[in-house]
Structure 1
Amino acid sequence: MTSNRVLLLVGGFILYLIVQVVLLKNMVVFGTSFCFLYVFFILLLPIEMKTIPVMLISFAMGMGVDLFYDTIGIHTASLVATAFIRNTWLNILTPTGGYDENLNPSLLNMGMGWYVTYSLPLILLHHTLFFFIESLGTNLFLPVVQKIIGSAIFAFLMSIIVQLLFYRRRRGI
């Protein structure tokens, strides 16, 4: 990985973290849908990146968000678990010819169908872990499921908007 690409990743990490804790922390739609956009930094990391570095980046991102949200590791646990599954899921979705070199699994690079198949299950995994850990059995099942579905849809739509506005084809983060 080139030093230019590393700088882009570090800059993206800082930018996603700042946007999450400053702009999106208090953004709630209908009282149940939260926007966890920071998950997409992990999902949009280069395809060739191995699982352990992705998990370490996820740990740092999760700890950063937990620090500002006062959630004592909930974001970290759910994001690291999502990072653990990410490469396995990418391998399952590998097209016949394989992936191109230095490719980010984004909407613009892979197309809407592939991106939905890739990102929605991982978003649902993250949100399911997050909200079930957060509730720890104190909430009813249906309100937790409502939070999971509403937040997953909200985060997915925000990711599409962010990618269409700020990302380019075949470029790094």
Structure 2
Amino acid sequence: MNIRNLISYLLLIIFLGLVQIFFLKNLALFGVAFAFVYLLGILSLPISTRPVPVILIAFVLGFVIDLFYETIGMHTAAATFMAFARSLWLRAISPTGGYVETEEPTLSEMGFGWFLSYSLPLIFAYSLVFFTADQWGTGGLWVILNKSLFSSLFTCLLVILVQLLFFKRRRRI
């Protein structure tokens, strides 16, 4: 990854973090579906990025979100877990010939079906860890699963919308 790409990913992560902090902090549909759009910054890192830098980026991003949300490490733990699971999941859904090193796991690069099968399980894992930490000892399993499912679907929908609106489209000839 060259310096230009590194700066563009850094700006994307900062922008998504700011959107999360200032616009999506209090957004909840019916009290069960929460938006975690900042996860797109972690999900869209190139496939060739090693796991340790992805985990460190997720840790810092989750920590910054925790500072503004006052959630005492819940975003940090969930984002770090998602970053750890990302490399395992990419290996699990790898095509027969493997990935091209320069590919980005985005909607425009990989297609809708692949992106959905890539992002939805990772976002669900994030939500499961987050809401388990949130409801620890107070809520039941159904509350955790309910919030995790609907938050995952809502976040995935928003992530797809953001990519359709703001990411450059690949030219097909």
TM category, shorter: over 0.9
Amino acid at match of 2:28: V
Q: How far did 1:140 drift?
A: 2.2
Q: Normalised by the size of structure 1, how large is the TM-score?
A: 0.94
Gap regions ≥5 residues in structure 2? none
Amino acid at match of 1:33: A
Give the stretch that moved more between structures: 82-91 or 46-55.
82-91
RMSD: 1.1
1:140 maps to 2:140 = yes
Question: Tell me, what secondary structure is at the counterpart of 1:100?
Answer: coil
Amino acid at match of 1:92: A
- Aligned residue pairs: how many? 170
1:151 maps to 2:151 = yes
Amino acid at match of 2:109: N
| Map of 1:37 onto structure 2 | 37
| Map of 1:8 onto structure 2 | 8
Q: How far did 1:44 drift?
A: 1.0
Q: Normalised by the size of structure 2, how large is the TM-score?
A: 0.94
CA distance in structure 1 between the aligned counterparts of 2:141 and 2:159, rounded to whole angstroms: 27
CA distance in structure 2 between the aligned counterparts of 1:142 and 1:169, rounded to whole angstroms: 39
Q: How far did 1:141 drift?
A: 2.1
% same residue: 42
Amino acid at match of 1:152: S
- In 1, are the aligned partners of 2:27 and 2:35 still within 8 Å (CA)? yes
Matches within 5 A, 1:12-23: 12-23=12-23
CA distance in structure 2 between the aligned counterparts of 1:56 and 1:144, rounded to whole angstroms: 27
- In 1, are the aligned partners of 2:27 and 2:34 still within 8 Å (CA)? yes
| Map of 1:83 onto structure 2 | 83
Matches within 5 A, 1:74-153: 74-153=74-153
Q: How far did 1:169 drift?
A: 4.0
